[in-house]
A and B are shown apart, each in its own frame.
Chain A
Amino acid sequence: GENVGLHLPTLSVQEGDNSIINCAYSNSASDYFIWYKQESGKGPQFIIDIRSNMDKRQGQRVTVLLNKTVKHLSLQIAATQPGDSAVYFCAEKAGTYKYIFGTGTRLKVLA
């Protein structure tokens, strides 16, 4: 159940360090974005969302930044833990109910 492509980028970080995962989106008119976490063998899990009228939104240990000028999203995870190891992907709202999902980034947390 992993959202992977043949060339899925991988980010390796040391436990306790901060992680930054990036995503480029396609439609400058998109007004809502979601970050998902997908662990092996599981379905995507909602982490955090952001609307286009915001530049930043914080959750517990996670922060999403939105740069509309360059159509870029980032997910920052503070004090990365082994349980954060997963594939992370962004989704942009492409219509009333449709989303365009990114191919994902695999995060590996090194002990």
Chain B
Amino acid sequence: DAGVIQSPRHEVTEMGQEVTLRCKPISGHNSLFWYRQTMMRGLELLIYFNNNVPIDDSGMPEDRFSAKMPNASFSTLKIQPSEPRDSAVYFCASSASGGGETQYFGPGTRLLVL
């Protein structure tokens, strides 16, 4: 099993540019989570999908952030326009449980917005 796959692993962009992060969850998992990790705030839940449907996006910082899950094997997190304060590591995690127990995290995307 390849685990959760994220791409790109590193992204450096300039303020104002659009950034798209991608995630492929573990096959058969019906829950998908996007998290952001920073030194100051630790790990924060951005959005949670269950069976491809966004259930809770209350953690999405603002309208510049959007996420989609067009099918069970793919999700994107988009930031448009990006700002320096968006610099962080973004993780995707998937779980076979609707309760999110035993979440498997991807390797993360390190985003740097200049």
Contact = CB atoms under 8 A, between A and B. Distances in A.
Contacts of A34: 101-102
Contacts of B55: 97
Interface stretch (B11-19, B41-49, B65-73, B74-82): B41-49
Contacts of A45: 105
B54 interface: no
Contacts of B31: 97
Interface residues of B, number: 28
Interface string B30-68: 010100010110110100101000011000000000000
A43 B42 contact: no
A4 B40 CA distance: 7
Nearest to A4: B39
Interface residues of A, number: 25
Contacts, number: 66
Nearest to A91: B43
B28 interface: no
Contacts of A99: 45, 100
A5 B99 CA distance: 27
Nearest to A98: B45
Interface of B: 4, 31, 33, 37, 39-40, 42-43, 45, 48, 50, 55-56, 89, 91, 93, 98-108, 110
